[in-house]
Structure 1
Amino acid sequence: MKVLVVGGTGFVGTHLAAELLDRGHEVTVLSRSPESDDLPPGVETARGDVTAYDSIEGAFEGKDVAVNLVALSPLFKPSGGDEKHFEVHLGGTENVVKAAEEHGVSKLVQMSALGADPNGPTAYIRSKGEAEDVVRSSELDWVVFRPSVIFGDGGEFVPFTKKLAPPYLTPLPGGGKTGFQPIWVGDIASMLADAAEDDDHVGQVYEIGGPEKLTLAEVARKAHGAEGRSVNVVPVPMGLAGIGLGIGGKIPGFPMGSDQYRSLKFDNTTDDNDIDAFGKRASDLKTLDAYLRDSSR
């Protein structure tokens, strides 16, 4: 099978490319900067930007499946403001779908986000929801993934948490009670590869989380604890945190803003974890503790 991984030099993309190669598939990675030391040997590369249709459409020729992983981080304020989410997630997906349809690609696996909703509370969530609508209304066979936060080597969730929640005396919005369901990148890459291979997944929207539901404070304690540092949470009222991040977001170079504050007001966890659709149980998935132990050796 010939698979095009759009955004394949990113965190999830490099792991997925390796997984697909291990399964015997021909893999092409499409990226704005396709040169990456993290890509496994044997991967073909193509250069293009999903926001510029003419730069990407040729890469879809002759491919059986496309996997669209292109995404801005929900953790940091994008340069260009909230509209950048719509330019990349919505506009980029429109271009991916158009190119896939015009070049006869039979299936699209779309990486969305947990809680994706065109009427959602953040620009990231709204743009992901609108992008899903584009995929579902296309002529393609499609599969949509809505994962919680993803952790692993090269990922930003653990480093971001350590930055947001410094050790020892740790001020956290709302006491760090926001819930997450972190999933290891190797586990999500395996499920994405299954969806690319198996037509039984066509037409499904999967909400995917890891084996544990953890609060932001618990994640901070685990992340710093693995390095021998303690965390003593000092609750910061959500309203006060919102004012601070709203002001900070107006400062050039400040990494967070009001959109990131709003994301801390709702949990990033599944109601029904759909990992069983891929023959997985919670006990099969790598925990954050196990990853942190492996990383500290």
Structure 2
Amino acid sequence: MSVLVVGGSGFIGTALCNELDSRGHDVIALSRTPSETNLSDGVETAMGDVTAYDSIAPAFDGMDVVVNLVALSPLFKPSGGDRKHFDVHLGGTENIVRAAQENDVGRIVQMSALGADPNGDTAYIKAKGQAEAVIRNATLDHVIIRPSIVFGDGGEFVSFTKQLTTPFVTGLPGGGTRTRFQPIWVGDLVPILADAIEDDAFDGTYEIAGPEMLTLADVTKLVYRASGQSVTIVPIPMQLVDIGLTVVGPLPGAPMGADQAKSLRMDNTTDSNDIEAFGVALESLTTFESYLDLDARL
């Protein structure tokens, strides 16, 4: 099978391309700045920007399946402002669907996000929800995967936590107990994505999450414990967070803005984890604590 992975040299894309190559597929990793550094020798690369149709269209020729992994972070303010979410997630998906249809690609696998909603509270959630509508309205077989936060080597979950906090004593919005995550390890997510690509019995939308629900406070304590440090959390009223980010957010270099503050109020969990549809048992998934190797430190 010939598979085009758009966003194929990113954090999840690299792992997926290598997994597909190991399964015997012909794989092309398409990205703005393709790098072969961590890709298997059998994976080809192509250069293109999803916001520029003509730059990506040639790579779709002869493909059986296209996978769209291109995503901006919901945790950090994108350069160009929150409007960039619509340019990349919505406009990029429109260009990918157009290229797939014009090149007779039969199937598309779209990585979305838990809570994606065309009328959602943040630009990220809105753009992801509107992109899902583009996929569903296309004349293509499709699978939409909605994962929770994905962690692993090369991911941003740990680095985001450290950027948001300080060791020993740190303030967190609402004490870090209001928002829950259900993070999934990239090594558990990638085989699920590969199965969705290979097996056309998978159809529709699947919510995929990890084995545990953690608050931001839980994550913070685990991250610093893994560094051999303790941390005491001081609650910061959400009203002060909103005011601070409204003032600081528009400044150049500010990593977060008012829109990202809203995301700190939103749970990133699911009541209907669909991993069992892929033959995966919840208890087989890697916990965040195990990934940090904290079990070995007890």
* Gap runs ≥5 in structure 2: none
Deviations 1:79-120 (A, max 9, x none): 111110000000000000000011011110001011000100
Deviation sequence 1:145-189 (CA, Å, 0-9, x none):
111100000000111012212221110001101100010011111
TM-score by length of 1: 0.97
d(CA) in 1 for partners of 2:288, 2:9: 23
Structure 1 position 35, deviation (Å): 2.2
Q: Which residue of 2 aligns with 1:15?
A: 15
1:32-43 to structure 2, matched below 5 A, reads 32-43=32-43
> The residue matched to 1:116 in structure 2 has which SS?
coil
Q: Report the counterpart of residue 275 of structure 2 in structure 1.
A: 275
Report SS of the residue matched to 1:4: strand
* 1:211 partner amino acid: P
1:266, CA displacement in angstroms?
1.3
- Distance in 1 (alpha carbons) for counterparts of 2:281 and 2:35: 36
CA distance in 2, matches of 1:60, 1:281: 35
Identity %: 63
Q: Residue type of the partner of 1:277? A: A
Per-residue displacement from partner, 1:223-267 (whole Å, max 9, x unpaired)? 110111111110001111111111110211110000110001111
- For structure 1, list consecutive stretches of 5 or more residues without a partner in the other structure: none
Say if 1:109 and 1:142, in contact at 8 Å, map to a contact too: yes
Q: Is the 8 A contact 2:36 2:45 kept in 1?
A: no
Give the TM-score taking structure 2 as reference length. Answer: 0.97
Give 1:281 shift.
1.4
Query: Is 1:214 the counterpart of 2:214 in the alignment?
Result: yes
What secondary structure, in the 3-state scheme, does the structure 2 residue paired with 1:201 have? Answer: coil
Amino acid at match of 2:152: G
Q: Secondary structure at the match of 1:110?
A: strand
- 8 Å contact from structure 1 (residues 7, 13) kept in 2: yes
Q: Does 1:253 align with 2:256?
A: no
Query: What residue is the counterpart of 1:190 in the other structure?
Result: 191
The 4+ residue runs of structure 1 with deviation greater than 6 A are: 294-297
What CA RMSD, in Å, does the superposition of the two structures yield over aligned residues? 1.3
CA drift of 1:294 comes to 8.0
Distance 1:294 1:228, change over 3 A: closer
- Matched residues, number: 296
Offset from partner CA, 1:56-87 (integer Å, 9 cap, x none): 01100101000000011111001111110000
C-alpha contact (below 8 Å) 2:226/2:294 kept by paired residues: no
What's 1:94 paired with? Answer: 94
